[in-house]
Amino acid sequence: MHILETLSRGVCVPGTKIALLLNVSRAAVHKQINVLRKNGYVISSSKKGYTLVKEADVLNENEIKSFFKKLPAIAEKIICYSKINSTQTKIKSLAETAQNGLVICAQEQTQGYGRRKSGWSSNKGGLWFSFLLKPKIAPNDAPKIALIISVAINRVLKRKYNLNSKIKWPNDILADGKKLCGIITEMSAEDCAVNWIAAGVGINVSNDLPKELKNDGAVLKDILNIDVCRAELLADILTEIDKVCGEFFKYGFSRFCKEYNDNCAYINEAIFIDAGFDIIKGINLGVDETGALLLKTEKQIEKIISGTLRKL
Task: State residue 148's pLDDT score.
Answer: 97
Strand duo 172-175 + 308-311: pairing: unpaired
- Convert the chain into a string of H (helix), E (strand) and C (coil): CCHHHHCCECCEECHHHHHHHHCCCHHHHHHHHHHHHHCCCEEEEECCEEEEEECCCCCCHHHHHCCCCCCCHHHCEEEEECCECCHHHHHHHHCCCCCCCEEEEECCECCCECHHHCECCCCCCCEEEEEEECCCCCHHHCHHHHHHHHHHHHHHHHHHHCCCEEEECCCEEEECCEEEEEEEEEEEEECCEEEEEEEEEEECCCCCCCHHHCCCECCHHHHHCCCCCHHHHHHHHHHHHHHHHHHHHHHCHHHCHHHHHHCECCCCCEEEEECCCCEEEEEEEEECCCCCEEEECCCCEEEECCCEEEEC
Q: List pLDDT tens digits, range 217-226.
A: 999 999 999 9
Task: State residue 192's pLDDT score.
Answer: 86
Task: State residue 116's pLDDT score.
Answer: 64
pLDDT (tens digit, 0 to 9) for every residue of the chain, 312 residues total? 578 778 877 789 999 998 898 889 989 988 988 888 877 788 898 989 999 887 768 888 988 998 998 999 999 999 999 999 999 999 999 999 998 999 999 999 998 887 766 677 788 999 999 999 999 999 999 999 999 999 999 999 999 999 999 999 988 999 999 999 999 999 999 888 999 999 999 999 999 998 888 889 999 999 999 989 999 999 999 999 999 999 999 999 999 999 999 999 999 999 999 987 889 999 999 999 999 999 999 999 999 998 899 998
Sorted by where each starts, the structural domains of the chain and their CATH numbers stand as: 3-54 (1.10.10.10), 61-261 (3.30.930.10), 266-311 (2.30.30.100)
Task: State residue 107's pLDDT score.
Answer: 93
Task: State residue 4's pLDDT score.
Answer: 76
180 phi and psi, to 5 degrees? -105, -35
Q: List pLDDT tens digits, range 81-93.
A: 999 999 999 999 9
Task: State residue 117's pLDDT score.
Answer: 66
Task: State residue 10's pLDDT score.
Answer: 79
* β-bridge partners, 175: 165, 178
First-to-last C-alpha distance (Å) of the chain: 55
